[in-house]
Each structure stands twice: as C-alpha cells, then as structure tokens.
Structure 1
Amino acid sequence: MSSTTPPFKTGERGFTLVEVLVALVATAFLVAILLDGSVSAAARQQDNALAQQALSVAQSRIDDLRDISGAPAQRNGEEDGVRWTLQEREIARDRRGAFILVEARISAGSEDKPQLITFQKRYVRSLIVR
C-alpha cells in the first residue's frame, strides 16, 4: 500500500519567483536610501568641521592685522590645510597722513571650496613705521 503523496498539500503554497524579486527590489531601495542618508550626513559633518577650521584661521589672520603697519596690501597663504586670501583697501586717511582707516576682507576655505568663509573688518592702521 504505497500511495504517492504530493509534496505540497493543497492550500499550502510557497512564494512565487515574482514575489521574491519584488521583495528584493524593495529591500534594495530601502538600503540605498539609508546609505545615501548616512553618506550625506558624513559629508555635512566634514564640511562643518572644515568651515569651523576656516573660520578660526580667518579670525587669526584678521587679528594679526593690528600689528602690521604700512599701506594696505593683498596677502594669501595656507594654514592647517585651509587656504586664505586677505584683501585690504583704504577707506579714509587723517590730515597728517599718519593713520588710515582700512577695510579688510578675508576668504578662507579648501581647494575645492575656496570661499567657504568670508567676512570683513574695519580698523585703523598706522602708516608710521615703528
């Protein structure tokens, strides 16, 4: 009495190939969205760190201007991996010609983002060499 039983009972079915493929595609989309979000967050964090470093370098360059005497000039350089450009221009001069009012504009950033931080400052400069 050997009767052959079917491998599946009626009513019990597995997943079809189409259902499995749809599930895989949906999972792939979700993974791609999560990875894109984490990569974007890491890039934003790196940009913010570079902006903070550029701001620090720019402020130290502006603060150093108090100790310089002479005519306005243009300077540039690199410090701690941050490139900076400083442009000065004369705004006003006193009657005796001993002091001038200078406006300085500094831009700092990286090679691919040269003007990440830009700000201006006005100060009085002595034309008398000490």
Structure 2
Amino acid sequence: MTTSERGFTLLEMLAALAVLALCATVLLGAFGQSARALQQSARSDRLNQAGQSLMDELDSAPLAAGRSEGDWDGVRWTLDVAVEPSVAGAAQLLRVDLLLRADGREARLSTQRVQAGSTSP
C-alpha cells in the first residue's frame, strides 16, 4: 500500500515568508507614523495647556499695558498687553497676545479683556 504524503514545497514556504515580511514592514511603518503623530499631538497639547494656565492667571490681578516674558515648566512665553482705543471714562479694553515657544514649536493665543477703572492713554 502506497501512501502519498503531500506538504508544502520550499518555494511555497519562501513565498509565504516573503508575504509575511512585506505585511510586517507595512505594519511597522504605520505604527511608527502613529507614534510620531502622537508625540506631535502631545507637544501641541503641552503648549495649549501652558497657554490656558497663563491666561487663567491673568484674572488674578489687574493688567498693565506692556510686555512681559517668562518660563512656565520649560515653555517660554511672551505676553503683550495693549490698550485699545475707547471712550474716556468707560471701562478699559485691553488686547492680550500670548506667544508660547517650546521644542521648536510655537503657539499664539489672543483675547480681549475689559478692565474697570480706566486710565486712558
């Protein structure tokens, strides 16, 4: 009685390994791009968090026109406050511009604040 054993040839195994290697290469590339995108998003979130915290701190004291600079947890910031033209005796309108820099990235935040007790320019 003769039995015929059938298996994969060496050529078929090599072809399967080549397809597997190609799929693994594509997946590793996709994971690498995802990791880079996640790091970039984390850096942007860090700048936004620093900006939000600095803007929140502005409410703790009256603002004065001018420029100030500082460092917040490794994020360099520059704050410009300018008085907008308004009617004499009315509340003072201030334009607040915040520039943040860290890790070669930059973010700009701008807002306006109303402040009582005007000392018109």
Aligned residue for 1:80?
73
Percent sequence identity over matched residues? 21
Report the CA distance between 1:64 and its aligned residue.
2.5
- Structure 2 unmatched ranges of 5 or more: none
Aligned residue for 1:6?
none
TM-score, normalised by the number of residues in structure 2: 0.66
Root mean square deviation, CA, Å: 3.2
| Alignment equivalent of 1:103, drawn from 95, 105, 110 | 95
Bigger Rg over Cα: 1
TM-score, normalised by the number of residues in structure 1: 0.62
Query: Structure 2 matches for 1:1-130, cutoff 5 A?
Result: 14-16=9-11, 20=14, 22-66=15-59, 67-71=61-65, 73-96=66-89, 100-115=92-107, 118-125=108-115
Q: Which has the higher contact order (CA 8 A, sep 6+)?
A: 1
Runs of 4+ that moved beyond 6 A: none
